[in-house]
Structure 1
Amino acid sequence: MIPLALDPARVPIALAGNGPLAVRRLTQLREGGGDPVVYSPEPDGELIDLAGERLVRALPFTSDLDAVRVLFVMGLEPAVEKTLAEMARARGVLVNVEDVVPLCDFHSPSVVRRGDLLLTVSTGGRSPTLASLVRQRLETLFPEAWAERVSAIATLRDRLRGEKASMSAIAKATKELIAREGWLP
């Protein structure tokens, strides 16, 4: 596996599915800054509310996938999920079919967000439970205060870059700030 962090402002994402898994994935994508088109032939009330104007009450056609680079699929019949995965791949779209490892081009890690700090855990789809347990541990090690800490570090970095400091001087100042504040034991 190769870890990547995608910018949803640059990489068009779509979701195809129904049910609680679709709601959960859409929520995660939105938390990451995404606003995917949601294809759902049988959306429930929660998915309808969450997807809003981005909801299409059907599965995507092959031509719909031309505007997409990443497709998440879940909560559909296995044969439909397989067909969507094959259609997407034929168009050069990366696919993740929830809990169907052979149909996945990538796996979504468990995520801890603290402002701009993004911590992820992945088992390559081998044990979502383990990834979730490690994520829970990271949540305790990196509390919400880290959002402000990252912001303070970014402010320091921006100021030093504006003063034309070298990258090594910026790294040194950052390490000193973190040590002085005792943010990492």
Structure 2
Amino acid sequence: MLYPINLNIQNMKITIIGGGKVAYRKVTNFLDFGKKVTVVSKEFVDEFSEIKDKIEMIYDEYNERYIEDSFVVVAATNNKEINHKIGTYCNEKGKLVNVVDDKNISNFTVPSYVKRGELLLSISTGGNSPSLSAKIKKELEETYDESYEEYIELLGLARKRIIEENKDIRERRKKIKALIELSVDELKEKI
């Protein structure tokens, strides 16, 4: 069973080995969180041309030197042996590694997610049913639309003000808990 965790990846070097559609999807996930990544492959699918200015692309086959100083590695080649080799190396060196075709050698997986500003909802079936994850993601996207980005920001501002203005912790908790019952417009009035 996997342990859920959110990582601040801003100061971590991230390398993805592979240039296919799966690698592209992994790259765009990191880009969604403002992280530039290095991608190593002899060939890249056309979609990479859309994001080439946002990533470092190395046209080469896999070599350990490309991941020596990486903290997070994704093995997304179309070669199971190379992916396994990457996974083994990363596990031996204490790196986070996601091997896309072998969850048993991976020490992390990337769940499906819905991101609305600072609201992050993740969905995982432990790799057992990506189709179910996709279905749940679609349902969550409909329930938690883009308006939640502003709502979360306003809740944070209101919470900060309550903490600054109330020394009694019980009073703070009561007021903070009441915030989630307010609409966006009501929150705007409070700030």
With the length of structure 2 as denominator, give the TM-score of the two structures: 0.85
**Does residue 95 of structure 2 align to residue 96 of structure 1?**
no
The separation in 2 between residues aligned to 1:168 and 1:131, in whole angstroms, is: 38
Q: Secondary structure at the match of 2:145?
A: coil
Which ranges in structure 2 are unaligned for 5 or more consecutive residues? 185-191
C-alpha displacement of 1:168: 4.3
Aligned to 2:132: 130
Is 1:35 aligned with 2:36?
A: yes
- CA distance in 1: counterparts of 2:169 and 2:79, whole angstroms: 52
TM-score (norm 1): 0.87
Unaligned runs of 5+ in 1: none
Deviation at 1:133, TM superposition (A): 1.0
- What do you get for the CA RMSD once the two structures are aligned? 2.0
* Aligned-partner SS, 1:14: strand
Identity rate, percent: 26
**115-124 vs 33-42, which deviates more?**
33-42
Alignment of 1:53-68 (within 5 A): 54-68=56-70
1:135-156 CA-partner distances (Å, limit 9, x unpaired): 1111112111110100000111
Could you tell me which residue of structure 2 aligns to residue 110 of structure 1? 112
Instruction: Name 2:142's counterpart in structure 1.
Output: 140
Task: Give the structure with the larger helix fraction.
Answer: 1
CA distance in 1, matches of 2:65, 2:96: 15
Match of 2:123 in 1: 121
Match of 2:87 in 1: 85
Structure 2 Cα separation of the partners of residues 13 and 171 of structure 1? 39
> Contact 2:72–2:96 at 8 Å: present in 1 too?
yes
2: CA distance, partners of 1:49 / 1:57: 16
| CA deviation vs aligned residue, 1:61-118 (integer Å, no higher than 9, x gap) | 3233232111112132111111121222222112111132223111111100011000
Which structure 1 residue ranges, 4+ long, deviate > 6 Å from structure 2? none
Any conservation in 2 of the 1:22–1:47 contact (CA below 8 Å)?
Answer: no
